[in-house]
Amino acid sequence: MSPPSSASDSPPPVPPGLHDLSRARLTRHALERYVERFAPTLCLDRAEHELRRALSRTRRLGRKPGSPQTAAHLAIAHHRIMVVILQDDAITTVLTWPQFQPKLIDFGRARLPRKQGRMIQRLKDALDNANS
């Protein structure tokens, strides 16, 4: 018989409106782009750990209309906005915000929500709470 698990053993619940992508499959391309764009001093093993931690709290930005299994998610990495592209169950690439912004329309959005500062602060707060 296994001992009863305490509340501290289980991960904190994901707040409404956010997603936990930390268990998604990471492609080598996505991991290499993460290192190139956000963590150039890290080895791939350490970078994977940090990327999964950042993926524990994401907000979906939109889906591709012609390919509903492809979605863009917003995350925070190294105090910067990061956009990850999720296709089926795999993270296929990692982009910086300036790289993704021209592609917003491709994911069904002409612009970010009006209160984007609040949205990003909530994402940061949720990530801090999940990692504390």
Give dist(CA 29, CA 93) in Å, integer: 6
Sign of CA dihedral 11, 30, 85, 36: positive
Task: Indicate if the pLDDT at residue 113 is higher than 80.
Answer: no
Task: Categorise residue 108: left if φ over 0, alpha if ψ from -120 to 50, beta otherwise.
Answer: left
Digit-coded pLDDT (tens) for 42-95 = 999 999 999 999 999 898 988 988 888 899 999 999 888 899 999 999 999 999
Domain ranges of the chain: 25-131
The structure's pTM equals 0.79
